A and B are shown apart, each in its own frame.
Chain A
Amino acid sequence: MRAFASLLDRLAFTPQRNGKLVLMRDYMRDTPDPERGWTLAALTGGLAFDAAKPAFIRKAVESRMDAQLFALSYDYVGDLAETVALVWPRKPGANREPELSEVVDALSSATRAQVQKLLEGWLDALDADGRWALLKLLTGGLRVGVSARLAKQALAEMGGVAVSDIEEVWHGQHAPYEDLFAWLERRSDKPSAESPGRFRPVMLAQAIDEEKDFANYDAADYAAEWKWDGIRVQAVSERGEKRLYSRTGDDIGKSFPDVLDFLNFEGVIDGELLILREGHVESFGDLQQRLNRKAADAKLIAKYPAGIRAYDLLLDGEEDLRTLPFRERRARLEVFVRQAASPRIDLSPLQPFESWEELARLRAHPPEGDAALAEGLMLKRWDSIYEAGRPKGPWFKWKRDPHLIDAVLMYAQRGHGKRSGYYSDYTFGVWREDANGDRALTPVGKAYFGFTDEELKRIDKFVRDNTVDRFGPVRVVKASKDFGLVFEVAFEGLQRSTRHKSGVAMRFPRINRLRWDKPAREADELSTLEKMLD
């Protein structure tokens, strides 16, 4: 438990991806089975308890210490699990510290009443960090900023294998993952990935370089289709196992039971998960209503019906198609989707074209209908096999040009890692009329990249020289009609949002250009943004 607790502690304070990878890699390398396997399960979301309710934890601590002293402590810290972890009175001669695996074992067989006794015994035996980790785990509040994907990446680094290898075998493995570690430590062969319903690592596209690539590639070698603005999914229906995976192999079936029910085929489809109403695509904003929900209720499903727009076929019956060229897979896919005749699956149409010039025109002026909502185009070589990872050449994505607006810097916050000494996270705003008819800035987004190191230094100086107020780590930067720093902000799309004061939320905003020359008063109005709503 001690190693687990200190890993969680470090992860929670380490903002950089690389730092997190090192911490997890070293932990997995240095910690024995089965402890590390349970930790891996906890990090990848495969270990969720809801064994201790806040009220119970409060009661337990108040039986150990004065309620008034506890209240003063809770008031000061503000987080129940953390307060209890810190104030739980020491008990010299308490039991040996439990290992994470012992906690998991005990909880799997304990009754509710037994859990309470167990928990108190564990709290007595652990130190403050251990108590914190235990309480966070038991209340289901383990948030240390690690995705399942990142944990798998760390495993890949530990074992010196590709992350796609991990993803391929992942779904046949179970906590505490002893076979997986045995393979990563070269003590045994790669575990079989043959379990039905498993995830197949996906093939990804490179962004096209307009300057170079078109000169090197022949338009006749490529098929084009629209790049849908949903989420990439792999729909598996294999010997009775029905699964819906994200492109990193996370099982997202629970959020989309309506789609899962209609995987009425035998095979594996690669496609885009979208909100589809009567065969038409709805905006990403609608899809967001369905994402990040643990379970979907009938009302939500009826309001935002999801479906899959299929663009590739990896498995047809029992036949693996991944070594066939795209041309053949595509032909098989068309037949496959027609025969499945699922109400929640349709085919992503190919967009015919003669030349790159023609395709460029289509990209700039997509035809009416679904294509107008696409993010851009996908180019796939007719002869490309289905290859996991992001090979250069066979597949390209060619996104539409981003939207651009001019906005004024309003708040700044220090960055992390290499940028930790600099103000590098910026909140920017545009003008709108307030209740009195005055023009005031309203924040519309945040950006932390898109500038060079030199530019960063200049912005940082500007922030330091023009700070008018501070709230914790945030600096309020001077911005008025007559003074302010204007950013040209690029973004991919814009949705209505009730969570933002301005009522809009940008997708993927970044700083395109610094407009030191532009007076703040000439930055854009909120009304301009509202016209860009998807």
Chain B
Amino acid sequence: MPKPENVLCPSPAGLYCEPGDFYVDPVRPVARAVITHGHSDHARSGHGTVLATEETLAIMAERYGENFAQKTEVLRYGETVSRSGVDVTLVPAGHILGSAQAVVRAKGFTVVVSGDYKRRKDATCAAFEPVPCDVFVTEATFGIPVFCFPEDGDEIARLTKSLAQFPERTHMVGAYSLGKAQRVIMLLRAAGYDRTIHVHGSVEGLNALYERFGVKLGAIEPATVDKSKKKDFAGAVVIAPPSAIDDKWSRRFNDPLPAFASGWMRVRARARQRQVELPLVISDHADWNELTTTIKEVAPGEVWITHGGEDALLRWSELNGIKARALSLVGYDDDEGEGQVASRGEAAG
């Protein structure tokens, strides 16, 4: 009798579909890859053929150069490609621009690989769509009950209030260059903030890409101090990758006030460790409530947990009578800024 594992199974290179001979988000070069979204731990260069949304392919080209793969295939949200009896459909995941869940149907099973996802509204990407399935392969970056994120609007209000209270200080907002940076900008715009927002060099190219796909970010300038004087940045918002905030780079600004937009900021010790003065709990990942309500909503026969806080999610599944297992896939970092910084130069080199 066929099992879901015959459709998709964990392997050292990533989740492998044997009947279709492709991997989802492989962590090493493979002949055929389906890529859920453009974050560098999911989208790597050097594959033979890459199947992804148009946005994801554009992001990969932006970060790795045009020749990141031998061949690319665009698949729109909702469209299906079939090969050797395997259907692959990409469905919005609500994580970042172009992010998708890979829905794989074969041998009578539906397996959904969520990639990274979240459930709250995001002006920079299409909203997550639940797909009923036999196996739901979920991330669990914030899979511990302590991670219940507040409303984005409330967090942005803390930033705008601080700007009013400390008009002489440059507000340095640490945000991952792909996705988080643009989302923070859009949240500021939604809150009525219409001043020029300054960005670190590693954010510029991705901003232009988002604009090309219709995400209107408003007035943006590079955060270069040489052209202007330090004082010009008094009371300004500067968005930069988290590592630049701790670095020499941030010194060029006027009395910088270090802020950080990340789900990790929910826990005080994390914020203190990074010497953040204004922790902003804004995440592109599902929080505990989103993870658990999503699992209930898609009502899978089985849950597979790829990476993150699997202990608590396994326990929760047990309490709720849901069959679950941890895949403990390696090679996936979280992209909330705790790990690496993907700057263009770095990734291209």
- Mask, A407-446, CB within 8 Å of B = 1, is 0000000101110111000000000000000000000000
Contacts of A127 in B (CB 8 A): 150
A65 touches B165 (CB 8 A): no
A472-B272 Cα distance, complex, nearest whole Å: 10
Is the C-beta of A105 less than 8 angstroms from some C-beta in chain B?
A: no
B165 to chain A, nearest CB (A): 6
B268 touches A12 (CB 8 A): yes
Contacts of A22 in B (CB 8 A): 165-166
Is the C-beta of A26 less than 8 angstroms from some C-beta in chain B?
A: yes
A13 touches B272 (CB 8 A): yes
- Mask, B296-332, CB within 8 Å of A = 1, is 0000000000000001100110010000000000000
> Which of A38-46, A75-83, A341-349, A511-519 binds B?
A75-83
Contacts of A66 in B (CB 8 A): 315-316, 319
Contacts of B275 in A (CB 8 A): 414, 416, 420, 473
B146 touches A77 (CB 8 A): yes
Tell me which of A68, A77, A418 contacts B255 (CB under 8 A): A418
A127, closest chain B residue (CB): B150
A420 touches B268 (CB 8 A): no
Tell me which of A6, A73, A129, A420 contacts B146 (CB under 8 A): A73
A82-B269 Cα distance, complex, nearest whole Å: 10
Count: A-B pairs, CB below 8 Å: 87
- Mask, B122-133, CB within 8 Å of A = 1, is 000000000000
A82 touches B268 (CB 8 A): yes
Contacts of B273 in A (CB 8 A): 472-473
A77 touches B267 (CB 8 A): yes
Within residues 1 to 45 of chain A, which ones have a CB less than 8 A from any CB in chain B? 6, 10, 12-15, 19, 22-23, 26
A471-B3 Cα distance, complex, nearest whole Å: 47
A10-B159 Cα distance, complex, nearest whole Å: 11
A72 touches B311 (CB 8 A): yes
A22-B312 Cα distance, complex, nearest whole Å: 41
Is the C-beta of B247 less than 8 angstroms from some C-beta in chain A?
A: yes
Tell me which of A15, A19, A90 contacts B166 (CB under 8 A): A19
B269, closest chain A residue (CB): A78
Contacts of A90 in B (CB 8 A): 148, 289
A77 touches B166 (CB 8 A): no
- Mask, A75-116, CB within 8 Å of B = 1, is 011110011001100100000000000000000000000000
Is the C-beta of A295 less than 8 angstroms from some C-beta in chain B?
A: no
A69 touches B267 (CB 8 A): no
B272, closest chain A residue (CB): A13
B128 to chain A, nearest CB (A): 20
Is the C-beta of B19 less than 8 angstroms from some C-beta in chain A?
A: no
A430 to chain B, nearest CB (A): 28
Is the C-beta of A146 less than 8 angstroms from some C-beta in chain B?
A: no
A464, closest chain B residue (CB): B248
A83-B147 Cα distance, complex, nearest whole Å: 10
Contacts of A69 in B (CB 8 A): 145, 312, 315-316, 319
Within residues 148 to 174 of chain B, which ones have a CB less than 8 A from any CB in chain A? 148, 150, 158, 162, 165-166
Contacts of A65 in B (CB 8 A): 145
A194-B277 Cα distance, complex, nearest whole Å: 42
Q: Which of A22, A23, A79, A128 has the most CB of B within 10 A?
A: A128
Contacts of B247 in A (CB 8 A): 421
A90-B149 Cα distance, complex, nearest whole Å: 12
A531 to chain B, nearest CB (A): 38
B166 to chain A, nearest CB (A): 7
Is the C-beta of B271 less than 8 angstroms from some C-beta in chain A?
A: yes
- Mask, A500-513, CB within 8 Å of B = 1, is 00000000000000
A87-B144 Cα distance, complex, nearest whole Å: 9
A472, closest chain B residue (CB): B273
B319 to chain A, nearest CB (A): 6
A26 touches B165 (CB 8 A): yes
Contacts of A414 in B (CB 8 A): 246, 275
Is the C-beta of B258 less than 8 angstroms from some C-beta in chain A?
A: yes
Contacts of A13 in B (CB 8 A): 271-272, 276-279
B146 touches A417 (CB 8 A): no
Chain A, interface size category, equals: 35 or more
B258 touches A420 (CB 8 A): yes
A68-B317 Cα distance, complex, nearest whole Å: 13
A416-B246 Cα distance, complex, nearest whole Å: 11
Within residues 225 to 249 of chain B, which ones have a CB less than 8 A from any CB in chain A? 246-249
Tell me which of B144, B256, B258 contacts A76 (CB under 8 A): B144
A83-B266 Cα distance, complex, nearest whole Å: 11
Q: Given that A69-B312, A420-B250, A472-B273 are known contacts, is A87 also in contact with B255, CB under 8 Å in the complex? A: no
A417-B148 Cα distance, complex, nearest whole Å: 30
B130 to chain A, nearest CB (A): 21
A20 to chain B, nearest CB (A): 11
A418-B166 Cα distance, complex, nearest whole Å: 13
A422-B248 Cα distance, complex, nearest whole Å: 7
Is the C-beta of B28 less than 8 angstroms from some C-beta in chain A?
A: no
A12-B277 Cα distance, complex, nearest whole Å: 9
Q: Given that A76-B144, A414-B246, A421-B256 are known contacts, is A14 also in contact with B268, CB under 8 Å in the complex? A: no
Contacts of A12 in B (CB 8 A): 268
Contacts of A78 in B (CB 8 A): 269
A421 touches B251 (CB 8 A): yes
Tell me which of B251, B277, B312 contacts A14 (CB under 8 A): B277
Contacts of B258 in A (CB 8 A): 420
A10-B279 Cα distance, complex, nearest whole Å: 9
B267 touches A15 (CB 8 A): no
Q: Given that A26-B165, A421-B256 are known contacts, is A83 also in contact with B146, CB under 8 Å in the complex? A: yes
A417 touches B248 (CB 8 A): no
B290 to chain A, nearest CB (A): 13
B249 to chain A, nearest CB (A): 8
A77-B264 Cα distance, complex, nearest whole Å: 11
B283 to chain A, nearest CB (A): 14
A77-B147 Cα distance, complex, nearest whole Å: 10
Contacts of A76 in B (CB 8 A): 144, 146, 267
B11 to chain A, nearest CB (A): 29
A12, closest chain B residue (CB): B268
A288-B251 Cα distance, complex, nearest whole Å: 39
B256 touches A73 (CB 8 A): no
A72, closest chain B residue (CB): B312
A23 to chain B, nearest CB (A): 7
A26-B165 Cα distance, complex, nearest whole Å: 8
Q: Given that A6-B158, A420-B256, A421-B256 are known contacts, is A86 also in contact with B148, CB under 8 Å in the complex? A: yes
A128-B274 Cα distance, complex, nearest whole Å: 21
A422-B251 Cα distance, complex, nearest whole Å: 8
A86 touches B150 (CB 8 A): no
A68-B269 Cα distance, complex, nearest whole Å: 22
Query: Which 7 A-B pairs give the minimum distances between C-beta atoms?
Result: A421-B251, A86-B146, A87-B145, A73-B146, A72-B312, A421-B250, A73-B145
CB within 8 Å of A: which residues of B? Answer: 144-148, 150, 158, 162, 165-166, 246-251, 255-256, 258, 266-269, 271-279, 289, 311-312, 315-316, 319
Give me 11 A-to-B residue pairs in the complex whose CB atoms sit less than 8 angstroms apart, sorted by A's number: A10-B278, A14-B277, A15-B277, A23-B165, A72-B144, A76-B144, A79-B268, A414-B246, A421-B247, A472-B273, A473-B275
4 additional A-B residue pairs with CB within 8 Å, beyond A15-B277, A73-B312, A473-B275 = A6-B158, A13-B276, A72-B145, A86-B267
